[in-house]
Structure 1
C-alpha cells in the first residue's frame, strides 16, 4: 500500500498538475465576468512607433488576456490618390509616414506573442458621402481592396503565418444609410466579389465585419431582418465574424438599448451556420472625445456578453493603453481582469472653486487640483446637481492637451423660475468613482419674464431653404400654430428640420406692430444629430425688404449629462418695443447636423384691440 508520505507527494503533484491545466485552459478564460479579447488599432496612431513601442503595446494587450488585433486601413484612397502604410509595388501608390512599416512590426510582435491580426486592405473616405444605392462605386472600391489584399498576403502571410489571421472589411454599414433590401442585395454582391477573389487566390482567411447602429433610424427587428437577408446571399463560411459596434461611445445607442439590439442581431446570424457573433464595445465618449471611465465600459460588456460569442473593443490602444494615455486606465482595467472588480481608491476633493461673471449670465468656473492627485483621471462640474462638464486626461495621439483644464465657461439656461445656480466640482477616478463635492458657489441669473401678448400665432411665413423632406412644413403652418411637441424627438411631427444649412424664417405679422420678445423653441437630440445652432439672430423690418438686426440669441451650454432629447426654449427680449411687420430669424446650423424647431413666437406687452 502507498504510505502517507508517498500519498501526500502524489496529491501535491496532482494538485499542481490541475492548477497548471486550469490556468492554461479555456475554463480559466471563461470567467463569470466579461473581458475584451482584442482591440482595433488605427495605423495613423502608430506612424512614429518603433519596434519597442509595438512590443510594449502588444504586451499590454497580452497581459490583459487579449489575443486579437484589427489593423484598419493598410491603405487609404482619396480622390485618385492611394496612400499606403507599407511599401507597395502597385503603380502610383505612395507610402506615407517614412520608412517604418507598422504592419510588419505589428505582425512580427504578434507572431512572437501568439496573437492574431486582422488587416483591412483599403478604405476610401468618400464612403461617408456616397449613397447606398451607388453599388458601382462600392464594387470599384472592392476591386481595389482585392488587389491590395493580394499584395499584403504575398508580402506578409508566409513570413508571419500564425499572426496574419484574417481580413477586416473596412466599410462600416449602418441602418441610417442602408435601409432597403435592394441596398443589402448590392452590398452582398460587393462582399461576394471580395470573398470570391480571396478564394480564387487561395488567400481566404476569416473575415470580420463591424457595422454600427443608430437607434433613431429604425428598429432592431428591421436591422436584424436586413442582415439575415444579406447572410442568405453571401459566401461567408465557418469562422467568419459579424461584430457590430455597440455604438454607445458614438452616442447612437443608449446603454439601455444595447441588450435588445444585440439580441435581435443574434437571431439574424443564427441562420448562418458557423458564423461567429462578436460585439465591438466602444470605450470612448463622443461628447468630449475622450476615454470613458471604466464603469461605463464594463456596463457595456455586461449587457453584451449574454448575447455574443466574444467581445473586442474600439479601442484599447487609443483610449486606455499607456502608450497613448495615463497608465491609470490600464492599471484599473488590469485590476478588473485579474479580480473581476474595479479598484475604488478614495479621491481627494478639488480645491478653491470660484465662479466669476464673464458677462451677463455667463460664468467662468475655476478650481485647483486636490492635494493628492493619485488615481485621478479628471473632474466633473455640476450646476444645481446636474453634471454639466467632464474634463478627462487627454490622449497623446488624438487628444488635445488644452482640454484638460481646471477652467470652463458656462452659459446656463434662463427660464421663468430660476433665480440662481449653484456650482460644485468633484474629482473623477479611472474606475468612474468620484470624490466628495468641493465648496459650493452660488450665482444669480436673470429670470425670464414671458410677455403676455402672442402676436405671431397662425401668421404666415417663408422659409429659406426648404426643410429636409423627412421633416417638412409643406403648408407653412407648423412654426406659428401654437402646437408644441409632446415628445422631445425628431420623430414628433410638430418639429421642422433642416440639415447642415443656415436658415432664414421670415414671419409676416400682417401689419406693423410693436414687438419686444422673441422665442425660438429648439430641439437638441444627439443620436439623430439634432443640435442647437452655432449662432442665431433676430432682424426686423417694416417693408419686408430692409431688415435691421436687433440682437443675437443667447445659446446655452449643453450639459454633459444631456444624452437624450431635450427642448431648449430661447428668449430674446428688448428693453423697449420696436415697430415691425416682418420678423426674421437667421439660424446657423452646426456642420453635418440638423436644426429642429417646433415654434417661433413674437410677443409684446400690448393686447390687440
Structure 2
C-alpha cells in the first residue's frame, strides 16, 4: 500500500515538474497552426516583371496572410564593380535590367496592399571567399552599403513611407566560418559602422539579419554563445530582427535538430532586450535544387513556431508562387492557411513501368502518367523500397525543365549477395502525399563475389598530389591498413581527402602478383562537399614506369534518400588475373568537391 502511495506522489511531482518546464519553454505548442508571414524575393528573378506581374505576385502574399517582403540583389558588387537594378546617381555604378526599376514596382504595389518591405542596400559576392578576420574588407563593404542605403532612402522612402519598412543585412554568417570571439568582434564593428551611419542620417529602420547554421560544424550552444556575445557589442534597437535560416533546405540541419538550435538561439536573443527572434524557413531541397513538397515545409513551421516570434521563408516567390511554378503549390498552401491542414487528395498510380538495359548493370526506367495529373507535382522512384529519385515539376526561373521527365537512368551499387533489384514508381502530390506503388519490375544485376586473397594489406604506396592538410596521410598507411571509417563523416581519422584535384594512388605489392579484383572505399558526405569521383580507373605495371590501363570503376547513382554521409565500396573485377607489382588508382574529382577514401584493396 505504502509503495502505491509513494509511486502516486512521485508521479504527481514528475507531472508537475514536466508541466512547469513545458509551459515555460519556447518549445510549448502554439494554439494556432503556424504560417509564414513573409518571403524573400531576389530581384534578378523579377527583371522582366511589369507592374501587373508585381501586383499579381504580392496579391498571393496578401491572400496567404503575409505581411513582409525582403528584396535582395538591389545592388551587386564583385571586386570593385557595382551594378544596380535601379538608376543610381553614384559615379561608376552600372544600371542593369534595362529600364525596369524593380525596387519602385515592389514598393509601389506593397504600399497599395499595406505590405512591409525590407531592402538590402548592397552585397559583394566576394564575401564567400573572404576570411572572417579581414575586418578592413568588411568595413569597406559597410561604407559602400551606407552610401547606397542613403540613396535608396532619399529616392523611395518619402514616396512609400509605409512600404519602405526596414533594412536587410545580407552578409550571411555561419558557424563553420565564424568561430572565434575576435571574428564576431569584427562583425560587430562592421554592423555598428552601418547602424551608426543610418542613425546619423535619420534613416535608421528595423534591420533584419539572417545567418545560417551547420550542425556538423559545431553545437547549438556554441553558436548561441557567439551570437549572444555579438548582441552585447552591437547597437541593435527595439524592433531589430535576428532571423536565422533554418538550414533544412540546404541540408545543414536535420529536422530533428531544429528545436534544439532555435531553443539555444532564443535564449541568446532574450539577453538583448527589444530584439525580435524570427525564423527563416527554407522551402527548397538541396538534393535536387527544387521546391519541397508542403508536408516537409509545414513540419519546419511546426517545429520552429514555438521558439520564435515570427516565421518568414526563402522563398515563396521562387518555389511556390504560381508566377514561377505550377499553381498546385500555392493552391495547397492556401488551403492549409485557411483550414489548418493540408487537403487529403488521392493520387493516380503511375502506369507502364518499363526497365530497359542500357549496358551491363545500367538501366533506363520509364513510366507514364495516370489519367488524372491535376494534383501531381512529380514522381518518386524506388529500388527495393529505397527512394532513389524524386522527379518534380520545375521552376520557370531557376529551374531546369529537362529534369521533369518520366524517365531516369539508374546505375545501382553492386553488392555481395544481391543479384536483383525491384523497381516501383509512385505519384507525388504537392502536399507530399504519394500514390500507391506501380506494378513492380525486377531486373538482374551482378552480385559482387569478393575474392579471398587480400594482397594489399599494409603495402606501401605513393600519393600524387598530397592530400588536403586537414585530411592528410602523413605516414602513408591509412589506405591499406584495413581500417574503415566508423562514422561516415569527413572528420573520421581513417579518411584521406583531396579538394578539386585528380588523384593517383599507386600501391607497391612488393613483388609481381596475379591480381584480379580492386575495391575502393569512398565516402560521400554532401554537406561538407565530399562527393564520389567523376570517374576512376585502374592501371597496372610490373616496373612502376609503364602502366597498362585495365578498366574503369563503375560509379553508381546516388539515391535521393542518401542525404548525409555514406560509404560506397566500388569494385572492379577482371575476367581473369593479370600480373602486376604496381597498381595505380586514378580518381578524377568533380569540380569544387572533395574526394575521400579510406581503403584501396587489391585481391586475387
Which TM-score applies when normalising by structure 1?
0.93
- For the 8 Å contact 1:281–1:301, the answer to whether it is kept is yes
- Decide which moves more: 211-220 or 500-509: 500-509
What are the Cα deviations for residues 105-148 of structure 1, in whole angstroms up to 9, with x where unaligned? Answer: 00000001111000111111111111212221111111111111
Partner of 2:537: 537
Tell me how far apart the structure 2 counterparts of residues 307 and 593 of structure 1 sit (CA, whole Å): 35
Tell me how far apart the structure 1 counterparts of residues 295 and 309 of structure 2 sit (CA, whole Å): 22
Partner of 1:5: none
Tell me how far apart the structure 2 counterparts of residues 162 and 72 of structure 1 sit (CA, whole Å): 19
Tell me how far apart the structure 2 counterparts of residues 256 and 340 of structure 1 sit (CA, whole Å): 22
Shift of 1:31: 5.5
What are the Cα deviations for residues 457-490 of structure 1, in whole angstroms up to 9, with x where unaligned? Answer: 1111122222222222121111110011222222
- For the 8 Å contact 1:253–1:527, the answer to whether it is kept is no
Partner of 1:500: 500
Tell me how far apart the structure 1 counterparts of residues 564 and 112 of structure 2 sit (CA, whole Å): 46
Instruction: Trace 1:83-162 onto structure 2 (pairs within 5 A).
Output: 83-162=83-162
Partner of 1:418: 418
Q: Say whether 1:468 aligns with 2:468.
A: yes
Q: Say whether 1:430 aligns with 2:441.
A: no
Q: Say whether 1:515 aligns with 2:477.
A: no
Tell me how far apart the structure 2 counterparts of residues 31 and 270 of structure 1 sit (CA, whole Å): 22
Partner of 1:4: none
- For the 8 Å contact 1:455–1:603, the answer to whether it is kept is yes
Partner of 1:558: 558
Partner of 2:594: 594
- For the 8 Å contact 1:539–1:583, the answer to whether it is kept is yes
Gaps of 5+ in 1: 1-29, 605-609
What are the Cα deviations for residues 427-475 of structure 1, in whole angstroms up to 9, with x where unaligned? Answer: 1100000111111110000011101111111111122222222222121
Tell me how far apart the structure 2 counterparts of residues 210 and 531 of structure 1 sit (CA, whole Å): 28
Partner of 2:228: 228
Tell me how far apart the structure 2 counterparts of residues 139 and 58 of structure 1 sit (CA, whole Å): 35
Partner of 1:241: 241
Q: Say whether 1:525 aligns with 2:525.
A: yes
Gaps of 5+ in 2: 1-29
Partner of 2:71: 71
- Decide which moves more: 359-368 or 575-584: 575-584
Shift of 1:594: 1.8
Q: Say whether 1:445 aligns with 2:445.
A: yes
- For the 8 Å contact 2:44–2:73, the answer to whether it is kept is no
Shift of 1:87: 0.4
Partner of 1:55: 55
Instruction: Trace 1:177-216 onto structure 2 (pairs within 5 A).
Output: 177-216=177-216
Tell me how far apart the structure 2 counterparts of residues 466 and 355 of structure 1 sit (CA, whole Å): 43
Tell me how far apart the structure 2 counterparts of residues 101 and 31 of structure 1 sit (CA, whole Å): 42
Tell me how far apart the structure 2 counterparts of residues 255 and 97 of structure 1 sit (CA, whole Å): 38
Shift of 1:562: 1.0
What are the Cα deviations for residues 166-201 of structure 1, in whole angstroms up to 9, with x where unaligned? Answer: 111011111111111111111111111111111111
Shift of 1:232: 1.0
Instruction: Trace 1:193-592 onto structure 2 (pairs within 5 A).
Output: 193-592=193-592
Instruction: Trace 1:155-170 onto structure 2 (pairs within 5 A).
Output: 155-170=155-170
Shift of 1:543: 2.1
What are the Cα deviations for residues 275-308 of structure 1, in whole angstroms up to 9, with x where unaligned? Answer: 1111000000111111000000000001111111
Q: What is the DSSP-based 3-state SS (H/G/I as helix, E as strand, rest coil) of the residue aligned with 2:62?
A: helix
- For the 8 Å contact 2:414–2:448, the answer to whether it is kept is yes
- For the 8 Å contact 1:252–1:528, the answer to whether it is kept is no
Tell me how far apart the structure 2 counterparts of residues 541 and 181 of structure 1 sit (CA, whole Å): 54
Shift of 1:88: 0.4
What are the Cα deviations for residues 250-285 of structure 1, in whole angstroms up to 9, with x where unaligned? Answer: 111111111111111112111111111110000001
Tell me how far apart the structure 1 counterparts of residues 284 and 234 of structure 2 sit (CA, whole Å): 32
- For the 8 Å contact 2:460–2:508, the answer to whether it is kept is yes
Tell me how far apart the structure 1 counterparts of residues 176 and 568 of structure 2 sit (CA, whole Å): 26
- For the 8 Å contact 2:333–2:342, the answer to whether it is kept is yes
Tell me how far apart the structure 2 counterparts of residues 90 and 547 of structure 1 sit (CA, whole Å): 62
Tell me how far apart the structure 2 counterparts of residues 244 and 331 of structure 1 sit (CA, whole Å): 27
Q: What is the DSSP-based 3-state SS (H/G/I as helix, E as strand, rest coil) of the residue aligned with 1:454?
A: coil
Q: What is the DSSP-based 3-state SS (H/G/I as helix, E as strand, rest coil) of the residue aligned with 1:367?
A: strand
How many residue pairs end up in the alignment? 575
Which TM-score applies when normalising by structure 2?
0.94
Partner of 2:18: none
- CA RMSD in angstroms comes to 1.1
Tell me how far apart the structure 1 counterparts of residues 460 and 105 of structure 2 sit (CA, whole Å): 66
Shift of 1:592: 2.4
Tell me how far apart the structure 2 counterparts of residues 602 and 52 of structure 1 sit (CA, whole Å): 66
- For the 8 Å contact 1:421–1:444, the answer to whether it is kept is yes
- For the 8 Å contact 1:73–1:170, the answer to whether it is kept is no
Q: What is the DSSP-based 3-state SS (H/G/I as helix, E as strand, rest coil) of the residue aligned with 1:306?
A: helix
Tell me how far apart the structure 2 counterparts of residues 164 and 199 of structure 1 sit (CA, whole Å): 16
What are the Cα deviations for residues 503-555 of structure 1, in whole angstroms up to 9, with x where unaligned? Answer: 11111112222211110111112222221111111111222222222111111
Shift of 1:500: 2.1
- For the 8 Å contact 1:259–1:303, the answer to whether it is kept is yes
- For the 8 Å contact 1:522–1:532, the answer to whether it is kept is yes
Partner of 2:20: none
- For the 8 Å contact 2:535–2:553, the answer to whether it is kept is yes
Shift of 1:219: 1.0
The runs of at least 4 aligned residues of structure 1 exceeding 3 Å deviation read none
Shift of 1:582: 1.5
Q: Say whether 1:176 aligns with 2:176.
A: yes
Q: What is the DSSP-based 3-state SS (H/G/I as helix, E as strand, rest coil) of the residue aligned with 1:137?
A: helix
Tell me how far apart the structure 2 counterparts of residues 260 and 526 of structure 1 sit (CA, whole Å): 23
- For the 8 Å contact 2:416–2:450, the answer to whether it is kept is yes
